[in-house]
Structure 1
Amino acid sequence: MADRLAGKIALITGGGRGIGAGITQRFVEEGAKVAIVQRTPPSDDIVNDRAVYLHADLSKPQDIASAVAAAAERFGGLDILVNNAGIMFEKTVDEMTEEDWDQMMTINLKAPFLLTKAALPHMRRRGGGSIVNIGSIEGLASNPGHPAYSASKAGVHGFSAAVAVDHGHEGIRCNAIAPGWINSDLSEIYIESMADSARVRKELLAMHPVGRLGEPTDVGKLAVWLASEESSFVTGQVWVIDGGRTKKLPLPVS
């Protein structure tokens, strides 16, 4: 086991599945103790003596405050916060209700604010800390039908910069990661739901200069670096991890 996060205590929202599970895995491998905060229990293979599950509904402010307090009490403090949990749906502005918009902003943007607010005092007591917010390449551009999702992720990017500016003097850093297409159960279901899933899969691969799709642990590796002292002079940035997808200009095909 490596030790870049030895002695560090982390809270990861949605740390039991998808990208969050990849981050949890890498944090544990690097020596951190992790509190996985989400609404449903993770699978047994994720929870162990270094990774515990704490229930919270991130739409409820009291659940958020209680989860942060429980994580700090369980492990004796808090050094790292990873705001990973989020939701997505496909609705245009015409199709969306005000309630739809509010739900997206509550989970994707308000929850990271409340988690950060609750975590800051614990980080100050430890002499500093690192906050890693999971944004998206859709905070930089957008797929069709994603006005609320893109707005929420652009907000995450802006929020990350502002937290970095306000709290850098306290030794608290804040960065955002903007993943592209990352393999997960949900993304696999999405591909298989297509009429010609083989063609969709081939075209997805062609969109990525590296010739493959991302894995949750790819994001986890970047999150480890941003949480560790190796990135001590890095704050307020949005780190795109997309296999080069957003840098490849599309060409017409016959």
Structure 2
Amino acid sequence: MNRFAGKTALVTGGRSGIGRAIAQRLRDEGANVYTAQRGADDDFPSFPADFSDPDSPARIIEQVIAQAGQLDVLINNAGMMQEASVDDMSLADWQRSLTVNLTAPFLLIQAALPHLRKTKGSIVNIGSVEGLGSNPGHAAYCASKAGLHGLTRAVAVDHGAEGIRCNAVAPGWIDTDLNLDFIDSMDDPDAFRRDIARIHPVGRTGDPKEVAALVAFLAAEEAGFVTGQIYTVDGGRMAKLSLP
């Protein structure tokens, strides 16, 4: 397929994990892909970004336009997670999580809107199943991802008449390098793999490429009647009731 020929895409956090799979998928389908994150990206044209800095999003959009002259697809993938319950989390940590996971996507969308209007472009936000449910100790992460899901719907409603679509994907357990390293750090990695596979009706965890496939569909013109939706990619985990 060549669904993105002649189109320019920006993928935040595109150097690794789900972001890397998305960037590769869009490029494979013809897009001119830029990434933005801390540090350089050896595989894509990229811009250094600190998403805790409120000036960073507008600067990145300006750089994409300066180099490519247009923006057709914005993928808000960059994010962070902190382990803390409400009573253990400082205000500074809470605000940092919301700044990176929610405010930065808002500012990127805000800066991108004038350019997406010209191209009738598409936005895909990478949320999480933790915007729908919660694991222990993830108060700020859950709040920020739920907020991102809400922002997705609001942008779709407010800007649909301008030809801009906005959807979100909510991944579950995906085998990113970060998650695989976490498993390998366990006392019994094989037992953990068996246990986590067991909670998924499909009997396994997910691959970043499976998330990227859905993102590419949502960003493409063939999904032109799809907007304001949150798509769960979790192997059926959220659909499965726990045993008594």
TM bin (shorter chain): over 0.9
The count of aligned residue pairs is 244
- Matched to 2:83, the amino acid is E
Deviations 1:196-221 (A, max 9, x none): 22111101111112222111111110
Deviations 1:45-82 (A, max 9, x none): xx2xxx31111111112222111111112111001100
Percent identical across equivalent pairs?
Answer: 55
* Residue 175 of structure 2 is aligned to residue 176 of structure 1: no
Deviations 1:75-133 (A, max 9, x none): 1100110000000011011110000100000000000000000000111122x110000
Q: Check the 8 A contact 1:26/1:221 in 2, yes or no.
A: yes
Displaced runs of 4 or more, over 6 A:
none
Residue aligned with 1:162, SS: helix
Matches within 5 A, 1:183-222: 183-222=175-214
Indicate which of 226, 230, 242 corresponds to 2:222. Answer: 230
Structural RMSD (CA): 1.0
Deviations 1:123-180 (A, max 9, x none): 1122x11000000000000000011100000000000000000000000000010000
Residue aligned with 1:160, SS: helix
Match in the other structure for 2:148? 156
* Residue 2 of structure 2 is aligned to residue 3 of structure 1: yes
What TM-score do the two structures reach when normalised by structure 1? 0.94
Match in the other structure for 1:40? 39
For structure 1, list consecutive stretches of 5 or more residues without a partner in the other structure.
none
Match in the other structure for 2:76? 83
In structure 2, C-alpha distance between the alignment counterparts of 1:225 and 1:30, rounded to whole Å: 11
* Residue 135 of structure 2 is aligned to residue 143 of structure 1: yes
Residue aligned with 1:251, SS: coil
What TM-score do the two structures reach when normalised by structure 2? 0.97
- Matched to 2:45, the amino acid is V
In structure 2, C-alpha distance between the alignment counterparts of 1:122 and 1:60, rounded to whole Å: 22
Indicate which of 131, 140, 161 corresponds to 2:123. Answer: 131
Q: Check the 8 A contact 1:25/1:217 in 2, yes or no.
A: no
- Matched to 1:147, the amino acid is A
In structure 2, C-alpha distance between the alignment counterparts of 1:56 and 1:86, rounded to whole Å: 12
- Matched to 1:169, the amino acid is A
In structure 2, C-alpha distance between the alignment counterparts of 1:168 and 1:9, rounded to whole Å: 20
Q: Check the 8 A contact 1:176/1:239 in 2, yes or no.
A: yes
For structure 2, list consecutive stretches of 5 or more residues without a partner in the other structure.
none
Q: Check the 8 A contact 1:5/1:224 in 2, yes or no.
A: no
Residue aligned with 1:194, SS: coil
- Matched to 1:219, the amino acid is V
